[in-house]
Amino acid sequence: MPQKTNSTQGLSLTPANLISAAAVAFIAFAVFLPSLWNGFVFWDDQQYVYENPLIQSLDLEFVKTIFTTVQISNWHPLTMLSHAIDYALWGLNPLGHHLTNIIFHGVNTFLFFLIALKLGNAAKGTSSKTSLIMALVASLLFAIHPLHVESVAWVSGRKDVLSTFFIFLTVLCYLRYSSKRDAFNYATSLLLFALALMSKPMAVTLPVVLLILDFYPLENLNAKSIIEKIPFFILSAISSLATLLAQKSSAASLETIPFGWRILTAIKAYIFYLYKMLLPFGLAPYYPYPLEISLFSIEYIGSAIVLIGITVFSIVYLKRNKIFFAAWLFYLVTLLPVIGLIQVGAQAAADRYTYLPALGPFMLAGAATAFFAEKINRKAVAAGVIIISIALSLLSIKQIGVWKDSMTLWSHEVNVYPDTAALGYMNRAAVYSKAGEVEKSLEDLTKAISIKQDYKEAYFNRSIVYKELGRYDEAIGDLNAAIELNPKFARAYNNRGSLHKKLGAYEPAIKDYQKAIELSPQNASAYFNLCLAYYETGNMELALANARKAADLGLPQAAEFIRAQGF
């Protein structure tokens, strides 16, 4: 069997290889096609698209805004630009927004096939046929795996498919540079990396990934290859700093989630994702952070043993082959930004986090398939690949249905985690409330609070439901609880003031409005509410002063009030 050298010239963009890449890309597109009939969901889609006025105008002011401000706790201007382009083309028709995600996933599958083929050809002692099998299997897993449904079938998963698109282009340009050593491919790869960072900051690990590729299969890791990564690391450092500043307000404190807990949860998450890759059942949009964490729990001890065991094996196996170590290191490194050491949100894990890291295990699966195809019966191996591919495709199609609409999504969440998914109950309550099913909303919010007694957002939302039901004392009680949990909860003060005013208690209402303004000086609603409270007590001077402030902040009702008073 002919042997390849470690030259990266072996990409071989032959018609057969291009047809193979296109075939796998088509499979990716076909499997995710059902998501075209899904709608938007109440899970960031409202912030990114259907309640986001920012994306409704593609002009210079929009471009300036997305490049100079933080949006949805991230600086990802290209992601916001892509949503704006979709809005310009499709408006709020979800089909078009889903179509863009599917197209990117199909293109990513095509690019990953080329990368996998080139890496296989670059490895010493690897035949062209082995490289082709490895690339086919690895890219097929990437194309159809159920863990990728969240990134593709969820409109807000755009940042995953978009950043990975630029990451793959970066790697392809870098592989060309590694063989040609030309300035053009080096500069292009650096530019593409910057675009990846502007799509999702999770791309910050790419400089380390390039060093891993230098180690294996390129086998040119040296001082020069490290030095030439310095510009990449500088871009990563800038992006990391910007992300930390952007997510500062939403990051969990060490008091909320101690660092020791984070370490244990991170260890468990590394093995959790591998488990879901092997057995992708019970997938959910939100994996709740454990209510209790103990070092002596079997799930944490077992995860630590498995993690250490795989790491030791990969190091020992280095003497025979570097592929296992390189793939395992890739998996560990690319998951690092989202493994929970810096905790943003209360999730313990998320399917979308595997969109890029899963490539390491998928490459190993491809290499193992190629090995068994050569050592055993190729027809039997091919039959096994087909059976597994069909099974994974069917599971993905089923999982796509979970993302059909908000009610389906959050009902699935509470079915998977009936005793721990406080957020699932709270989000489904919002869906019930919007549909006018207030009693069901109240029931879900009460369940959320029973699971998480310090859930200030659930108390706040339940107070709104109590108000709709005319149960004002209970609404005030929930707002009291929310404020006790978070004394800087400006919206809770504002709403409590409105309830006090409705009950004729103007003095506490005025105090609450003043506190809301103190905590949120740009809250036009609080100024106008304070205006109305002063108006009801006959203090016209202060009423007009606060009405003018609310009008200056852009509240139309305040301007109408001023005109009605003859000013």
CB-count burial class (<10 Å; 0-12, 13-18, 19+) for 363: buried
User: pTM score, two decimals?
Assistant: 0.92
Inter-CA distances, 566 with 71, 230, 249, 558, 562, Å = 40, 66, 43, 13, 7
Residue 556 lies in a domain: no
217 cis-preceded (ω within 30 degrees of 0): yes
Buried b (16+ CB within 10 A) or exposed e, 469-491: eeeeebbbebbebbbebeeebbb
In angstroms, how far is the first alpha carbon of the chain from the final one? 92
Per-residue pLDDT of 98-118, as tens digits, reads: 999 999 999 999 999 999 999
Inter-residue contact 74 to 158 (CB < 8 Å): no
Rg (CA), the chain: 27
* 3-state SS track over 72-104: CCECCHHHHHHHHHHHHHHCCCHHHHHHHHHHH
* Separation between Cα atoms, residue 455 and residue 413, nearest integer Å: 18
The answer as to whether 450 is a domain residue is: no
Q: How far apart are CA 432 and CA 451, in angstroms?
A: 19
Residue 468 burial by CB count (10 A; 0-12/13-18/19+): exposed, middle or buried?
middle
**521-525: long-range contacts, CB 8 A cutoff, minimum separation 24:** 522/553, 523/490, 523/494, 523/553, 524/549, 524/550, 524/553, 524/554, 524/555, 524/558, 525/494, 525/550, 525/555
Distance between CA atoms of residues 530 and 187, nearest Å: 57
Q: How far apart are CA 59 and CA 49, in angstroms?
A: 17
Q: Does residue 251 lie within any of the structural domains?
A: yes
Domain encompassing residue 240: 15-402
Residues 6+ apart with CB under 8 A from 368: none
* 75-90 tens-digit pLDDT: 999 999 999 999 999 9
Cβ-Cβ contacts under 8 Å for 374 (sequence gap 6 or more): 130
pLDDT reported for residue 126:
82
Output the pLDDT for position 230: 97
d(CA 544, CA 384): 76
Residue 264 lies in a domain: yes
Judge whether 471 lies within some domain: no
- 347/398 Cα distance (integer angstroms): 23
Contact call for residues 189 and 19 (beta carbons, < 8 A): no
Give me the DSSP letters along 527-548.
Answer: HHHHHHHHHHTT-HHHHHHHHH
Per the CB < 8 A criterion, the answer to whether 86 and 97 are in contact is yes
Q: How many domains in the chain?
A: 1
Which residue type does 196 have?
A: A
Answer yes or no: is 518 within a domain. no
The parts of the chain modelled with pLDDT lower than 50 are 1-10, 253-254
Residue 299 falls within a domain, yes or no?
yes
pLDDT on residue 291: 59
Write the secondary structure of 2-42 as one string of H (helix), E (strand) and C (coil).
CCCCCCCCCCCCCHHHHHHHHHHHHHHHHHHHHHHHCCCCC
- pLDDT digits 0-9 by tens, 32-66: 999 999 999 999 999 999 999 999 999 999 999 99
Sign, CA dihedral 472-474-476-482, equals negative
State how far the Cα of 424 lies from the Cα of 517, in Å rounded to an integer: 31
Between CA 512 and CA 516 the distance in angstroms is: 6
CA 547 to chain centre: 41
Q: Where are the beta strands (DSSP E) in 375-440?
A: none
Q: Say how many residues make up the chain.
A: 567
- On whether residue 240 sits in a domain, the answer given is yes
For residue 349, give the DSSP letter: E
